[in-house]
Chains A and B, each alone.
Chain A
Amino acid sequence: MSDVASSRRMMAAFVFIIYGPICWALQLALIYGSQSALCAFGTDWGPVTTAVLVSSLATMALASAGSVWPATVYRLLAGIKAPAGQWPFMRFVMRLLTGLALLAMLYAALGALLLPACAALR
């Protein structure tokens, strides 16, 4: 294996482990960014809620898919199959982190159904 491939594999392993939290960070950036931008443009409930829910559904789907097919995610990142010795550990950590991330994403998204888009609470 070349140096580049070896290093790519090493980095891919860490990115793979934090796949779920990366999806969560993406969701937070999308929902907070889109809400702030749309509110700055003076839009209100409809577009903001739509943007938050669509962003959340997309990122949650991405996270869920990764959790269901972890081997595919690893192969996409590293270009090869995961090291057999480390695979059970890496898969366990990745899946549990994705589960926690999904919970956090769901919780954040629910706000869009309950709260005004741009108004302050007091």
Chain B
Amino acid sequence: MMTEQLPNKGPRPDHELADLKRIWETPRGWRLPTAVNNTVIGTFYIGIAFLFFVLAGILALVMRAQLAVGDNSLVSQDFYNQLFTMHGTTMMFLFAVPAVEALGVMLLPQMLAARDLPFPRLSAFAIWAYVIGGLVFFSTIFYDLAPKGGWFMYPPNTLTEYSPGDNADFWLLGIGFIEISAIAGAIEIIVGVLRTRPPGMTLDKMPIFAWAMLIFAAMIVFAFPAVILATMLLEIERAFGWPFFSSELGGDSLLWQHLFWFFGHPEVYIIFLPAAGLVSMIIPTMARTPLVGYRLIVVALIATGFFSFGLWVHHMFTTGIPGLSLAFFSAASMAVAIPSGLQVFSWIATIAAGRERLRMTVPSLFVLGFLFIFTLGGLTGVMVAVVPFDFQAHDSYFVVAHFHYVLIGGMVFPLFATFYYWAPMVSRKMLSERLGKWAFWLMFIGFNVTFFPMHITGLAGMPRRVWTYPSNLGWDVLNMISTVGSFVIAAGVLVFIIDLIHNFRFGEGGPDNPWEAGTLEFLPNDVYSTRSIPHVTSRDPIWDRPSLPREVEEGLHYLPNAPTGGRETIVTSAVEARPQYVLQMPGPGWAHLLAAIFMAAFFLLLTIKQVAVALICGVLFIVVSMVWTWQLDRPSQGEVDIGGGMKVPTYVTGPLSHSWWAMIVLMLVSASLYVSYVFSYLYLWTVSPDVWAPGGSPAPPSLLFPGASTAMLIGGTLLMIVADRALPKAGRRGIATMAGLVLAALLLAGAVSLEIWGHLQTGLDPSASSYGAMVYMAAVLGGQAAAATIIMCLFAVARQATGQLDAVRRVTFDNAALFYYYTVGQTLFGLMLIHGFPRLIG
């Protein structure tokens, strides 16, 4: 692109920059918590995630002190169980996933040169929910209330009979709700990567980190619902005695393992893939050459993400599953090694292809440390994927060594590289190279001293998850070495913290592009991101067009101003990144913050059985969510000129709009949850086909019940179609649409109620058998989806009653209709399963 072809001409009017600064200004003082700017909340997010890393690390130090010598009693057995449960849970749920999501929130808008991600308040909501829930959850360790069942919480150990008290409930409700926050973040990231890229940034020019985050978020969408369902089932069994996991009543504790590991194994890659994406961004800069094998790395990221869903049974090789089933999952475990290897070779090739020797900066050191450690962890991963070897090494310290090599090598080292590499983006000062090198070497040496001996300890027979061990088994020296190593790691982290205190100063004005990188996040930026949104023509735009930073700063590219007078960014098409419209974005506010507080209160109060207060908080959550949502659907400001002769609309609806895409992702989340339920239903049938339903159970309700429910669902769908067609012209109000929405909502409620009533009429007891529990669980899930749909329909009615919904301004209606059709589909499928399957198998 030549200078004379730039989208806008200069010099730009002075007021444009002042307008941008005013519109995007970060709230100060007591209003700071209302901030939604990605750099502010992203930095806060990563800060809290790092706090949890330190806290979980301290728990690990106490554990290592206990294990330093045999027959030790530094901490009690019961407290040790709390320690290792909280260490694993905090590291996985409160540090690793949030840290990666935080990097997405912080870095993606900058890498994509978007003003912000498309749902800034959703990001802020997810962060506050995580902060409040995470801090309360972690504090349970101080009150002897922490869960004790391991981060995997296997039943029957975690059923009320063996784990009385509230400890396990804190895990089930606390973590379940933090997962909702992770899903909210994932929706934001998917829509952000697909729709807020700069013009010209086609799929083959996307930064690898954006690819990695897209796959990361898609994996959350499909993996997290499985563990959300698992936590629902276990909490319901603990609270109401519905026997999903009790074998004497037809349940099976292995069902938990299936659901947990269907989430748990992809979780490893959910953490690793973004870290690999970060490495793919850092290496080219430090080697001063474009990434070798860009297309291969994209293939590797997608393949790893996909295959990781076929590995879950490799955590269950010793549970007595048929050998042929093990072979299926062993095959997938081997297959996933190929794409991981592809990435490693691409990185090595990039380093080798550099025009000069790799610059040995602190980010480079952490990346090289990652390569060494992660490769070793990958190799032991292939070992435990071999079924006979796994039979020997299962539940031993060998496995502890393996997964720490993968997780710390694959995620923590790249994260520290990231801290040093991207700190100038949000800090006025760079972090210290000298302190950084000390931190790296202490962590690298400490890590290997800690975890390498565990391979030998494990092969020598030491089981994992033990509080202590007899001191005459030859494990003492190896354990002492591991303990010393763990304190060396802690010293490395401490040096990093000292570096942060000395040098990290939040705010703009840091050095521009200190590493001479080629990607967009190193363009000059401010609270509004870049002054103008660049037209992208290559993968390393700054390298290929050295004048780009100046052009962008002078406002010569797209959207150098704020034509709608508010926060906005350009939405482009998902494949070819062609500008489609200008998205009007919300600014700071209290509603999403209050929503996070009330949602956290709802879940946490349920944990301690304060049901009435919890329900009040639940209602308040819905109310403030309505207030939040009410402010979003802003009217069109007409077409605006973004430069390059392009005039684009400021309001779109239907499949083109970002909210429609977010609804599609939300429906995928709901569908994943429901598919997990269908799997659970069929799984329990395969475990006990002879008692499905158990002898003495009442016959299923007459087919008239599901028939009537089906008629109501179809009637509701037709009413929604009629309501759609009856939407009034712009600025008018129409009774027909409101009546259609209310009637459709009533029919949906009626269909679900009739289904429950039918089973109650037969006398089927959900606590008498797993069959009964599964039947009612279908209604619970149907009721959950119906409740959300009904709220959306009534919200649309209120919008229309106030003149804010018509045939043009119709996003609220479209979203309600989309979810209505989904709920009808899910409920119809549920009716076929619950009423058809028992009759089919006779």
Contacts and interface: CB of A to CB of B under 8 A. Distances in A.
Contacts of A11: 574
B840 interface: no
Nearest to B338: A100
Interface string A27-56: 010011101110111000000100010000
Contacts of B335: 100, 103-104, 107
A17 B302 contact: yes
Nearest to B655: A7
B323 A121 contact: yes
B204 interface: yes
A13 B310 contact: no
Contact of A86 (B203, B321, B323, B326): B203
B307 A85 contact: no
B302 A111 contact: no
A21 interface: yes
B296 interface: yes
Interface in B277-308: 295-296, 298-299, 302-303, 306-307
A13 B323 contact: no
A93 interface: yes
B652 interface: yes
A103 B324 contact: no
A78 B661 CA distance: 17
A116 B654 CA distance: 52
A41 B689 contact: yes
A25 B324 contact: no
Contact of B327 (A8, A18, A86, A108): A108
A37 B387 CA distance: 23
A35 B194 CA distance: 38
Given A85-B202, A89-B203, A35 B303 contact: no
Interface string A83-94: 101100110110
Contacts of B661: 7
A92 B295 contact: yes
A57 to B, nearest CB: 15
Most chain B CB within a 10 A radius of its CB, from A52, A101, A104, A110: A104
B656 interface: yes
Given A3-B652, A85-B202, A108-B331, A9 B575 contact: yes
B685 interface: yes
A98 to B, nearest CB: 10
Contacts of A28: 310, 328, 332
B356 interface: no
B391 interface: yes
Contacts of B574: 10-11, 13-14
Given A13-B575, A107-B334, A121-B323, A40 B302 contact: no
Interface in B673-695: 682-683, 685-687, 689
B328 A111 contact: yes
Most chain A CB within a 10 A radius of its CB, from B320, B325, B660: B325
B791 to A, nearest CB: 26
A119 interface: yes
**Chain A: interface residue count, which band?**
35 or more
Interface string B641-670: 000000000001011100011000000000
Contacts of A93: 295, 298-299, 302
**Dominant secondary structure at the A interface:** helix
A44 to B, nearest CB: 11
A112 interface: yes
B656 A96 contact: no
A27 to B, nearest CB: 9
B250 to A, nearest CB: 13
Contacts of B334: 107
A35 B309 CA distance: 18
Contacts of A10: 194, 573-575
B299 A24 contact: no
A43 to B, nearest CB: 12
A111 B322 contact: no
Interface in B253-299: 295-296, 298-299
B514 to A, nearest CB: 32
B185 interface: no
Interface in B569-590: 573-576
B339 interface: yes
Nearest to B653: A3
Interface in A54-107: 83, 85-86, 89-90, 92-93, 96-97, 100-101, 103-104, 107
Given A13-B575, A25-B309, A122-B391, A86 B302 contact: no
Contacts of B656: 3, 6-7
A70 to B, nearest CB: 14
B655 A35 contact: no
Contacts of A86: 202-204, 575-576
Contacts of A122: 391
A11 B204 CA distance: 16
Most chain B CB within a 10 A radius of its CB, from A28, A32, A90, A121: A121
Given A8-B655, A25-B306, A100-B338, A112 B324 contact: yes
Interface string B140-168: 00000000000000000000000000000
Contacts of B309: 25
Contact of A35 (B203, B295, B307, B324): B324
Nearest to A9: B575
A14 B391 CA distance: 39
A26 to B, nearest CB: 11
B323 A108 contact: no
Most chain A CB within a 10 A radius of its CB, from B194, B323, B685: B323
Contacts of B660: 7
B573 A96 contact: no
Nearest to A89: B204
Nearest to B322: A118
A115 B655 contact: no
A6 B323 contact: no
A10 B322 CA distance: 42
B332 A6 contact: no
Nearest to B318: A122
Contact of A36 (B204, B299, B576, B686): B686
Contacts of B306: 18, 21, 24-25, 97, 101
Contacts of A89: 203-204, 295
Nearest to B303: A100
A120 B321 contact: yes
A116 B328 contact: no
A67 B685 CA distance: 37
Contacts of B296: 96
Given A8-B655, A25-B306, A28-B310, A40 B321 contact: no
Nearest to A33: B682
Contacts of B339: 100
Interface in B80-98: none
Contacts of A48: 324
Nearest to A39: B322
B167 to A, nearest CB: 34
Given A25-B310, A97-B299, A32 B573 contact: no
A121 B387 contact: yes
Contacts of A85: 202, 576
A25 B335 CA distance: 13
Interface in B321-376: 321-328, 330-332, 334-335, 338-339
Contacts of A33: 682
Contacts of A110: 327, 331
* A-B pairs with lowest CB-CB distance, top 10: A111-B327, A7-B655, A104-B335, A21-B306, A89-B204, A107-B331, A10-B574, A40-B686, A121-B323, A108-B331
14 contacts: A10-B573, A13-B203, A24-B310, A25-B309, A35-B322, A36-B683, A86-B203, A86-B576, A89-B204, A92-B295, A103-B335, A108-B332, A111-B328, A121-B323
Given A17-B302, A115-B327, 18 more contacts: A6-B656, A9-B575, A10-B574, A18-B302, A25-B309, A32-B328, A33-B682, A40-B687, A89-B203, A96-B296, A97-B302, A104-B331, A104-B332, A107-B331, A110-B331, A111-B331, A120-B321, A120-B323
